[in-house]
Amino acid sequence: MSNLESQPEETLCAAGPGRAGEVEILEPREVPLGGLRGMPVRRTLPQRGRSLIGAWCFLDHYGPDDVAETGGMQVRAHPHTGLQTASWLFTGTIEHRDSAGNHAMVRPGELNLMTAGSGISHSERSTQDTSVLHGAQLWIALPKRARGIAKRFDHYVPPVATGDGYAARVFLGSLLGEHSPVETHTPLVGAELTLEPHSALSLTVDPAHEHGVLVDTGAVTFAPGGSAGTELVAEDLGFAAAGCSEFLLTAGPEGARVLLIGGEPFEDELVMWWNFIGGSHEEVAAARDAWQATIASSESGTVAADDRYGLPDDEPEPPLPAPVLPTARLLPRSKLGPLPATTDTLATTASAGPISPRSSTPSFEEATVSEASEQIRVVHEPEAPRYAIYVGDTLAGFADYRVTARGDSRAFVHTEVDPEFGGRGLAGTLVTEALADTRAAGMRIVPYCPYVSAWLKKHPEYEEIVDWPNV
């Protein structure tokens, strides 16, 4: 899967802090895959406070989506460097083509692992017979010693291991006496676990690994190292630091399906931007330039056999161009600390009203809506859940939120305004109305979205109802 954000954030991937026996809950932000009206995905990794779990550096969780409504997954050929992509489906089928000559169908319960090495390109499209698409896309960072290896593709169908109240598919590493033969370049584990209602599963795990539990359906109590446990609900990712050799997962009354991922804390610090991972800003910039050169060669019909990326065969559409690289370099950070305040933390908010993508101090009042003849409406759409802003009858943008588990707060995760309506102050209008309505409803505000966070810092009158996330 490609990161289709038009202004992707440059992230320094590094191991983060954690205490053995405790569970940290990571909540996702919603990202439209392919633009404002594209298929929505819930992105849980990377986050500012935690960019890695072992070598797992990216996690998109999506569906179940009605393909007739969203259009499904339609991702043109795009590049990757320095990583492996792991595709895991619950429902539907995706057609995969890559520049190493592989053409495969991604189906539920089957691992498709693509190794980029120094460069590969691939496309992903849901098949015509897919009506519902539901799954996860994960990226695995390659250590420095493996970033230049040859591109390859592995397909593996793990057997279903069953026991008292559970079924398991171990697609990477070892768990529950099952072992995957698929090669990884750092110690990893990956498995789908399905639990019956109220069942409890005790897992013996490698204490040198840190782990994450992503809840797809239902709810579980995640108890590492004999702790009392923490409840995780659908879409939550629970993180447990290294140091525990045993986990207990207890399902709620509806049962649960989860993905368990883990690995040894990653030693290398890596820069990740768009679909590239490298050891420095310069490596990422060189990878982008090489991809743009591949596109230029394809337009003239002269892609060389030794091209760094190459292109898949029989592609019906031209490849995706890379976004413009940020002008500012990523500033280093400690493995145990947050990003510096001077880093461009607004880069993940696409075209949000008057914000400049290079500005770290947005002005919310400098641009106003001047077209009095056009009706501007902010509408609360709790079924989404989101606040939407309309210009006439046209959807111009939205602010997505999630009601937190305790039910008294709205966690705002993403704000976006269609570039067609940019520069008119719509993002400021949208957020102003959304937060005022949330306060009027007696609910608290959790600002994960950078735009909402910056707005709140300029409006201290909201401070008493804000729960700042630990990111």
pLDDT attached to residue 406: 79
Structure tokens at 404: 């937190």
Q: Quick one: pLDDT at residue 46?
A: 87
Asked if 23-263 and 376-465 have one fold, the answer is no
Please say whether the beta carbons of 293 and 299 come within 8 A. Answer: no
pLDDT higher than threshold 60 for residue 10: no
Per the model's pLDDT, the better-predicted residue between 189 and 325 turns out to be 189
Q: Own/partner pairs for 405-411, CB < 8 Å, 24+ apart?
A: 405/231, 405/233, 405/236, 408/442, 408/443, 408/444, 409/443, 409/444, 409/445, 409/446, 409/467, 410/438, 410/443, 410/444, 410/445, 410/446, 411/27, 411/446, 411/447, 411/448, 411/469
Alpha carbon 113 to chain centroid, angstroms: 17
Rounded to an integer, the average pLDDT of 399-418 is 89
pLDDT tens for each residue of 432-471 = 999 999 998 899 999 988 889 889 988 888 988 999 886 5
- At residue 138, the 3 state secondary structure works out as strand
Residue of higher predicted confidence among 27 and 123: 123
Is 368's pLDDT higher than 50? no
> Out of 159-168, 313-322, 344-353, which region has the weakest mean confidence (pLDDT)?
344-353
Q: How far apart are CA 88 and CA 34, in angstroms?
A: 20
Fold category of 376-465 in CATH: Aminopeptidase (3.40.630)
Separation in Å, CA 126 to CA 38, 67, 135, 245, 274: 13, 9, 12, 39, 22
pTM equals 0.69
Reading the block at residue 55, the tokens are: 């070598």
Average pLDDT over residues 307-316: 93
Please name the fold of domain 23-263. Answer: Jelly Rolls (2.60.120)
pLDDT grade for 236, boundaries at 50, 70 and 90? very high
Look at 28-37, 51-60, 239-248, 255-264 and tell me which has the smallest mean pLDDT. Answer: 28-37
Cα separations in angstroms, 249 against 127, 165, 210, 306? 35, 11, 16, 49
Q: Pairing mode, if any, of strands 409-417 and 444-447?
A: parallel
Domain ranges of the chain: 23-263, 376-465
Strand order in the sheet with 103-106: 74-80, 120-126, 94-98, 103-106
Tokens 């292109």: give the residue: 311
Q: Are 265 and 245 in contact (CB under 8 A)?
A: no
Q: Is the pLDDT of residue 7 over 70?
A: no
Alpha-carbon gap, residue 16 to 52, rounded angstroms: 7
